Amino acid sequence: MALYPHSAHLAAASLNQTVGDWSGNARRIREAIAAARQRGAALLLLPEMCLPGYSLGDRLPRWGTLERSWRMLTELAAHTEGMVVTFGLPIAHRGVIYNAMAVVADGTICALAAKENLATGDVEYENRWYQSWDRGRLETFTAPDGLEVPIGNLVFEADGLGRFALEICEDGWKGLRPGSIYALAGAEILLNPSASWFVIGKHAVRRRMVEQISREDHVVYLYSSLLGCDATRLVFDGSVFLASDGEILEEGRRFVFKDEWELRERVVDLAKLRQTRREEGSWRQQVREVEQGRYGPTPEILRLPGSYATAASPPPTRPYWIPAPPRPPDPSLLWLAEAGLVPDIAETDLAHLELELALALALRDYIAKTGLRGLTLALSGGRDSSMVALLVHRMFRYDNPELDDAALKALVHERFVCAYMATENSGEETRTASRELAEELGARFHHMEIQDAVDTHVRLTEETLGRPLSWDNPVDDIALQNVQARLRGSLIWMLANLDRFLLLSTSNKSEAGVGYTTMDGDTSGGISPIADVPKSLVSLWLRWAGGFHGYDALKHVNAMEPTAELRPQEDAQTDEGDLMPFAVLDQLLYHFVQLGEDPLPMFKALWPRFTERYGGDPRAFAAHVRKFVRLLCFAQWKRERFAISFRVTAFDLDPKTGFRFPAVQAPFTEELADLDAYLDSLDD
């Protein structure tokens, strides 16, 4: 059997790992290694921190975590016979912790690479625990069991693989990347092990990054990330790429529910890359700069034991005169339609599908990894609770692709309980919407009339105060509204407790941002699936889901104006009437939180867009800016108490991992005065 000296058989795998699940994490890694070997791969890239799980938090600095991670590595090394495998783990070196990748060849732990650029800012706080590795640094690491191996500035060389090197997750996103130095020092294969969390649209950015790096560095670029919901509010969609010189050769499935890992492998042609490097004058110039030490010490070449030559040739390339075929919108999602889980995705809005998949996967992993039996929801017939109910249904659908519609309904009925809790302020439209949606999904449904309980609470309060409560008295308004929401929270918790189910909260991002939510009412729950979904997107997603998936009951939900239904029906209460148009609120939220704009710059940036909406009256818009800023500042105490949520958009309001805002502050008083002064100048 002829060997191909310019070929290398490479593989990358995504893994659904759980923090501290040492035996489960090891089993999944063994399965991925065995599958890669069975398919002929000689090198396998595994994700960042795949041994202990990524989101370790303050479990990371415990010596038991570090020691057990190393012990797990030594045990798994025995499964790498005839292969090179990279494993992600934390290590303690010179008294501090590093985020590292171990390179294991043919059963031998050969060396370590450490992360240079720590992910810090936004939801990432790696600087809290890790030290960054200095570029060009090469030292000897002494393991807990006494093994000594090199760590740092290394390019690896192996018979049958050529030369390769690693850059870890964030390293690949930086302008002056470690991988570029390694490529100029001779690495022909770059590996990027990641724990890259999901945000709507981020995968397309990842793909472009992988294409660009492989083109600029003239390398084969392997990228693998984690899958599922690990231990935080982050969701990992499980990206896997193999690219060569600007072309994606393999792309793995994302949002995989049934499988615990995803593997892609390919025989790649290194001869073409080598020829391109020899021909390119600017490449030779940059190689000389690296050799002269312009970017620090030249990486050392570490020869690995074993031979990894492949007996397979790379797939034939297209003749140069035949253009590449057009790529589908997102190859990583095509498997969903092929499996019959969704309709054809060619013409749909993939952002809405990504959002659904991320939240459904996060829900599935959270309840599965915490051992929960089922879910409970207060289904009001409004948009927020309807979206949460549909996400639960989609979760069961994706997690049980083998079930027909009848069997799926039976499963949903067993593990999902909904309740509509009516007062005299509840409308017939929401009653109908909640009942028909629950029936369409197959959920157990309870209709509860709770006006007697409301009346009892009001009577007891009136007796205590010695005066009647009235909707006509502005002092009583909030209390009379909130007593209904809080009673619903108490009753739905009771139903959840009886089944030992987890209660889902229904707060959305927009209303939570300005405190338009009742503490211990609609905020009740252990998980808040749509807490990072703005109300405008909730409405858009529901319209999309009704058409894409064919949920008939959504026609009732989409036809209604959003309303809390807490005031008497003759008041015709609406959420936007209480607040402002959600199209405005959501833009204010983005500019204030994500862009960090104060009231006046925010007004100037958005007024041209909203001039027509406000009939050309800048003071009307400024009044909403003022209202928004004050509500957001005063609502921070509420956000401190919200249930765990999942990050899916460019920014979130979670005070524990995202928007850390003071609970006590002057609510931009002087900044709002600047806005007033500007408006006065317009009058002049």
Structure tokens at 301: 């070449």
Instruction: Return mean pLDDT, the chain.
Output: 94
- pLDDT for 2 equals 47
Where do we find the tokens 């890359």? 273
**Which domains, and CATH codes, for the chain?**
8-313 (3.60.110.10), 348-573 (3.40.50.620), 580-684 (1.10.10)
Percent of the chain with pLDDT over 90: 89
Neighbour tally for 38: CB within 10 Å? 10
Average pLDDT on 85-90 reads 98
- pLDDT for 657 equals 82
Query: What is the tally of helices (H) and strands (E) in the chain?
Result: 22, 25
Half-sphere exposure of 77 (CA within 13 A, CB side): 17
The amino acid at residue 1 is: M
Neighbour tally for 211: CB within 10 Å? 18
- pLDDT for 346 equals 87
348-403 pLDDT, tens digit per residue, is 999 999 999 999 999 999 999 999 999 999 999 999 999 999 999 999 999 999 99
Strands 444-449 and 227-229: unpaired
Average pLDDT on 438-462 reads 97
Q: Is the pLDDT of residue 595 over 90?
A: yes
260-270 pLDDT, tens digit per residue, is 999 999 999 99
- Residue 220 to residue 633: CA distance in whole angstroms: 49
Structure tokens at 553: 């009951």
203-253 pLDDT, tens digit per residue, is 999 999 999 999 999 999 999 999 998 767 899 999 999 999 999 999 999
Average pLDDT on 627-655 reads 93
Structure tokens at 380: 């009001």
Q: Is the pLDDT of residue 121 over 90?
A: no
Q: Is the pLDDT of residue 1 over 50?
A: no
Average pLDDT on 601-605 reads 97
- pLDDT for 656 equals 83
Question: What backbone phi and psi angles, to 5 degrees, belong to 161?
Answer: -120, -20
Q: Which among 495, 513, 514, 516 has a CA at the least distance from the CA of 504?
A: 495
DSSP characters for 135-202? TT-EEEEE-TTS-EEEEESEEEEEETTEEEEE--GGGGGSSS-HHHHHHHTT-SEEEEE---B--TTH
- pLDDT for 531 equals 95
Confidence band of 318 (pLDDT split at 50, 70, 90):
confident
505-514 pLDDT, tens digit per residue, is 999 999 999 9
Residue partners of 49: CB distance under 8 A and separation at least 6:
17, 56, 88, 89, 90, 99, 195, 226
- pLDDT for 683 equals 82
The amino acid at residue 571 is: D
Distance between start and end Cα atoms, the chain: 88
Q: Which among 182, 451, 450 has a CA at the least distance from the CA of 301?
A: 182
Strand stretches in 404-494, DSSP E? 416-422, 444-449
Question: What global pTM score does this model have?
Answer: 0.94
Q: Which residue has the higher pLDDT, 561 or 124?
A: 561
Confidence band of 317 (pLDDT split at 50, 70, 90):
confident
